[in-house]
């Protein structure tokens, strides 16, 4: 049996990540031995009194900053190795709104490489910049907005990559024709309908009940292209 893909999430609030134990794609992948997700406490090995993790910023200003010595202690205490060696063994991802943006292509790459991964969730003002420079191997943002912490970003990333693992979805075919897939030239998925055929006068396109598979495929492709063309251009909005 192959080794499950290890994804460790360091956070001040490990219990918030319990959602990951319930959600289907991740649970399926875990039960099938494909994925091993752990939520770990950034405070666990804090060398400071009262397991303190943050401090006021040099230069003044609002908010608290997560300390580099605490992050290093959390990682070195858990893995039993130096940060330098850890960076050679694992992808160490620091979540920040200012990082390169996570997208479907990045998710595909991660799911293909299955490199052991450690995710650092910030809070408050984020991490001391030395964590960015000397501890993390890369920065990732989930979008151009500021969350109050990295936990929902970590869950978003793990949900996205886990469903790409074989067996995580009930039907792996679902991935073939979905939004951003190669089959749809990276565009939007076509619309789906199910019973009832009519509801309050809202009907299902007749072609979908025609039984003509070629015509249905052509209709879906055209709908996908139309929806993709209707998307606002991120460069100009
Ligand atoms: N002071 C930081 C700034 O202006 O860039 C924002 C800190 S934010 C309130 C606290 C933490 O939430 C960050 O350290 C990061 O881990 C996480 N976070 C916030 N927005 C994020 C995003 N868009 N993607 C990934 N992580 C995010």
Domain boundaries, given as residue ranges, for the chain: 5-162, 176-230
Read off the pLDDT of residues 109-156 as tens digits, 9 standing for 90 and up.
999 999 999 999 999 999 999 999 999 999 999 999 999 999 999 999
Instruction: Flag whether pLDDT at 223 surpasses 70.
Output: yes
User: Residue 22: how many CB atoms within 10 A of its CB?
Assistant: 8
pLDDT at 122: 98
- Residue of the CA atom closest to atom 19 of ligand 1: 147
Helix (H, G, I), strand (E, B) or coil at 30: helix
Q: How far is the CA of 106 from the centre of ligand 1 (A)?
A: 19
Residue 177 pLDDT = 85
pLDDT on residue 220: 97
Q: Considering the chain, what percentage of its residues have pLDDT values greater than 70?
A: 97
Q: How far apart are CA 128 and CA 147, in angstroms?
A: 18
Q: Tokens at residue 207, please?
A: 């072609």
Chosen CATH of 5-162 out of 3.30.750.24, 3.20.20.140, 3.40.50.2020, 3.40.1280.10: 3.40.1280.10
Q: What is the pLDDT of residue 36?
A: 97
User: pTM to 2 decimals?
Assistant: 0.95
Residue range 176-230 forms a domain whose CATH class is: mainly alpha
Nearest to 191 by CA among 204, 210, 172: 204
How far away, in angstroms, is 26 Cα from ligand 1 center?
24
| C-alpha 149 – ligand 1 centre gap (Å) | 6
Give Cβ neighbours of residue 130 (< 8 Å, ≥ 6 apart).
68
Question: Whose C-alpha lies nearest to ligand 1, atom 23?
Answer: 97
Instruction: Compute how many other C-beta atoms are within 10 angstroms of the C-beta atom of residue 217.
Output: 12
Mean of the pLDDT values across residues 8-17? 98
Q: Do domains 5-162 and 176-230 have the same CATH topology?
A: no
Which residues form the pocket of ligand 1, taking CB atoms under 6 Å from any ligand atom?
Answer: 95-98, 121-123, 125-126, 141-143, 145-150, 153
User: Mind listing the pLDDT tens digit for each residue in 176-212?
Assistant: 789 999 999 999 999 999 999 999 999 999 999 999 9
C-alpha span between 191 and 203 (Å, rounded): 13
State whether residue 44 is helix, strand or coil.
coil
- CA of 227 from ligand 1 middle (Å) equals 31
Q: Chain-centre distance of CA 31, in angstroms?
A: 19
């Amino acid at each position: 049996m192959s080794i499950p893909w290890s994804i460790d999430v360091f956070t001040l609030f490990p219990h918030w990540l319990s959602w990951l134990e319930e959600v289907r794609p991740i649970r399926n992948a875990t039960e099938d031995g494909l994925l091993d997700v752990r939520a770990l406490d950034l405070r666990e090995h804090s060398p400071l009194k009262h397991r303190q993790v943050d401090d006021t910023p040099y230069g003044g200003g609002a908010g608290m900053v997560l300390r580099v010595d605490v992050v290093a202690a959390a990682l070195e205490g858990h893995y039993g190795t130096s940060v330098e060696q850890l960076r050679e063994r694992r992808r160490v991802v620091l979540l920040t709104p200012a990082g390169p943006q996570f997208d479907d292509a990045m998710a595909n790459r991660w799911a293909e490489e299955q490199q052991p991964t450690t995710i650092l969730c910030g809070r408050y003002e984020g991490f001391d910049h030395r964590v960015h420079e000397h501890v993390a191997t890369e920065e990732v943002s989930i979008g151009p907005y500021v969350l109050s912490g990295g936990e929902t970003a970590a869950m978003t990333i793990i949900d996205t990559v886990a469903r790409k693992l074989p067996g995580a979805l009930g039907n792996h075919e679902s991935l073939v024709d979905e939004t951003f897939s190669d089959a749809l030239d990276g565009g939007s998925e076509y619309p789906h309908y199910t019973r009832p055929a009519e509801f309050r006068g809202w009907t299902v396109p007749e072609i979908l009940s025609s039984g003509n598979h070629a015509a249905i495929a052509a209709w879906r492709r055209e709908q996908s292209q139309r929806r993709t063309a209707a998307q606002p251009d991120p460069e100009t909005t």
